[in-house]
Amino acid sequence: MTDPAPTLAPVRLTSLSHGGGCGCKIAPGVLQQILQSSAAGFIPPELMVGTETSDDAAVYRLNDAQALVATTDFFMPIVDDPYDFGRIAAANALSDVYAMGGRPIMALALLAMPVARLSLETIGEIVRGGEAICREAGIPIAGGHTIDSVEPIYGLVAMGLVHPSRVKRNAGARAGDVLILGKRLGVGVLSAALKKNALDADGYRELVASTTQLNTPGIQLAEMPGVHALTDVTGFGLAGHTLELARAAGLKAVVRYADLPLLPAVAQLATQGYVTGASGRNWAAYGAEVALDAGLPTVARDLVADPQTSGGLLVSCDADSADAVLAIFHAQGFDHACLIGHMQAAEAPALAVV
């Protein structure tokens, strides 16, 4: 007869991790140094997208009609509810496939858990949360890998398909393009407030609703010739990912701060000091390339650098396509998608927040 598993005391998931969600990302400057020191490997001609512009996923051409989109994303808990944690992590990983214009086809689970600290029921709820989001996306979790870990970590290897001519990159923005953002900002602020028990029930519902909404508009956006560049806003914040668009195209991005959609109570919470350490690390890495208008509130810097977990799609498209892009977002339940700025010619890549 086997001994029953020991009963473990309940524990807050966020208390087991030193950071949560995409705020766990290595700071952009440190990551750049790491990648600079790695030698370039073999690059086959079928590899359409690799690491050259820090894009959202790799893309490998299979034939004239299909290209494989492959990516992976995983992180430590951003919330304490295990089921919600699994859902958020899965939606975040699948977002990179949608950001390339791909349609997900399957996923593999990555699970690292402190099995001496968390009950099997809690770990099972994390897995079930991930499975629920994959069912919503219409794909199976076809396998994966597990290890015993000091901190809880969950995520996916996500794979999708896209026509080679419809791959949307973070490169390709053109002068005169307008910028459209699909989701509201402030996930990092809300998660910081949650960790300090300062987030109310309404704020928590908004946090989970935003981070579990699949970025499915990417599939239709890939079919639009007027969409020139596409990415999703995650751990480097709106400023970091907009800068990636600008660098890849050699342009200047101009973002209107007053037009940025924010999750409820985010501005107030940020003013009260509920910001993540990742926000400061982000700004230290790329702040020199960002011009903040002198008339903006002090908190503007924290909000544009705020790390987003499972954030919205950022679209650079010609002005004539803007209404059609917004219609796609709104038809799929992205009620707060809106115009936030434009791209213009410049001597050097940059971002201005006005």
Contact 189, 306 (CB under 8 A): yes
Whether the CB-CB separation of 80 and 12 falls below 8 Å is answered with yes
| Nearest alpha-carbon partner for 259 in 201, 174, 326 | 326
Burial class (CB in 10 A: 0-12, 13-18, 19+), 318: middle
- What are the pLDDT tens digits along the chain (354 aa)? 455 555 666 778 887 777 666 556 555 656 666 566 665 677 899 999 988 888 889 999 999 999 999 999 999 999 999 999 999 999 999 999 999 999 999 999 999 999 999 999 999 999 999 999 999 999 999 999 999 999 999 999 999 999 999 999 999 999 999 999 999 999 999 999 999 999 999 999 999 999 999 999 999 999 999 999 999 999 999 999 999 999 999 999 999 999 999 999 999 999 999 999 999 999 999 999 999 999 999 999 999 999 999 999 999 999 999 999 999 999 999 999 999 999 999 999 999 999
**What's the CA gap between 110 and 127, in Å, rounded?**
10
Distance of CA 190 to the CA centre of its chain: 15
Q: Which residues are catalytic?
A: 22
The runs of H, that is alpha helices, within 104-261 are: 120-137, 187-195, 201-211, 217-221, 237-249
**82, 125 Cβ separation under 8 angstroms:** yes
